Amino acid sequence: MSEIKNIGIFTSGGDAPGMNACIRAAVRTAHQCKIEVTGIYEGYDGLINAKFNKLSPIDVSGIIHTGGTILKSSRSEAFMTPEGRKKAYENMKAQGIDALIAIGGDGTFKGAEVFNQEFDVPIVGCPGTIDNNLFGTDYTIGFDTACNTAVEAIDKIRDTATSHNRMFLVEVMGKDAGYIALHACVAGGGEAVLLPEQLDDLPRLMRFLKEKSRGKIFANIIVVAEGDETGGATEVEKLINMGYPEYETKVTVLGHLQRGGSPTCKDRLLSGKLGMFAVDALLQGKFNVMVGEVHQKVKFTPFHEAGNKEKPLDPDLVRMSETLVI
């Protein structure tokens, strides 16, 4: 029999579409198992500032389709200090919370690992970040929605790019990972993509532009991951303008647009599944792991592996990005 009677749940780091569906699933699964759930507001800051509220199944109705997070989020600096974590632990105990579900990315899991080492708190993580940069899950919560948002934007940008014979550098999110850039570029039919995982992509792009620069503009859309080593779309534009002034260029930074919006069907299903299995994991005594999905099977990965192990880009998609250009 599990000792856990009250699970605290929070969202932390950058919000991601599907976080609400995950919260909903965890609350309803816990309810079925007669476990209470306490919502912790504003991520780790909510633990430190004792921002708690009990969540019943009815409290999470009508949120499956909403973006953002009903629990709000933060990137807590206070939790990075030993004093902050001590306060968080005291508040958690005073509230009767026995275990935690943390929905977030690599930073969230780093915090969770330290918290567990210091206070032996059982924690299970759900991968909530649009970046898809976590090992131990094929996809993270919010990634599919962010890609769809980026593809929709690229489609619209292409209309005006083609009409004016302009080249657009479209910058997408991904502070250290090129997943959104690669998937959105291939799906949006972009002519080239610059990824933090590849160091030879800029010279390749320059060679491509040289070949295509005679007469007609051939490259309408170049997708740049914000974390690319060139420094982003504006820097790439400067380099192109210096080498090939014949191209008329424009930069569009999609930015936080990609973090909002109603989660796609795929994101809702993934979020729900992981929220449900996060509760199961806690009740089965599986702690300090991230719940992920690999080849449609639920997998549990230790926090340090989820945040640190390399998750390579799909080589077939990389090949498509290089092959399917004109």
CB of residue 124 to ligand F6P, shortest distance in Å: 20
Query: At its nearest, how many Å lie between ligand F6P and the CB of residue 142?
Result: 8
Q: Is 142 left (phi over 0), alpha (psi -120 to 50) or beta?
A: left
Helix H or strand E encompassing 86: helix 82-94
Q: What is the DSSP string of 53-77?
A: EE--GGGGTT-TT--S-TT-----S
Nearer to ligand F6P, 107 or 122 (CB): 107
84 vs 227 by CB, closer to ligand F6P: 227
Give the pair of three-digit tokens for residue 139.
């996809």
Tokens of 319: 């090949």
Unique residue bearing structure tokens 């991951």: 225
CA nearest to 251, candidates 236, 230, 229: 236
List the catalytic residue out of 98, 106, 131, 201: 131
> Please, how many CA atoms are within 13 Å of residue 178, restricted to the half-sphere of its CB?
25
Which residues partner with 298 through β-bridges?
A: 293
59 included as an active-site residue: no
The closest alpha carbon to 153, from 170, 140, 139, belongs to 170
- Distance CA(60)–CA(5), nearest Å, equals 19
Shortest CB 130 distance to ligand F6P, Å: 5
Helices and strands in the chain, H and E counts: 11, 11
Q: Return phi, psi of residue 176, to 5°.
A: -140, 15
CB nearer ligand F6P, residue 170 or residue 279: 170
CB of 90 to ligand F6P, least distance (A): 28
Rounded distance, CA 236 to CA 216, Å? 21
Question: How many of the other CB atoms lie within 10 Å of CB of 151?
Answer: 19
Nearer to ligand F6P, 32 or 234 (CB): 234
Strand 52-54 and strand 249-253: the pairing is unpaired
Q: How far is the CB of 218 from ligand F6P (least distance, A)?
A: 30
Contact residues: ligand F6P, CB under 6 A:
13-14, 75, 105, 129-131, 173-175, 226, 259
Shorter beta-carbon distance to ligand F6P: residue 133 or 198: 133
CB of 176 to ligand F6P, least distance (A): 8
Q: Are 244 and 140 in contact (CB under 8 A)?
A: no
Query: Which residue, 36 or 42, has its beta carbon nearer to ligand F6P?
Result: 42
User: Catalytic positions, please?
Assistant: 131
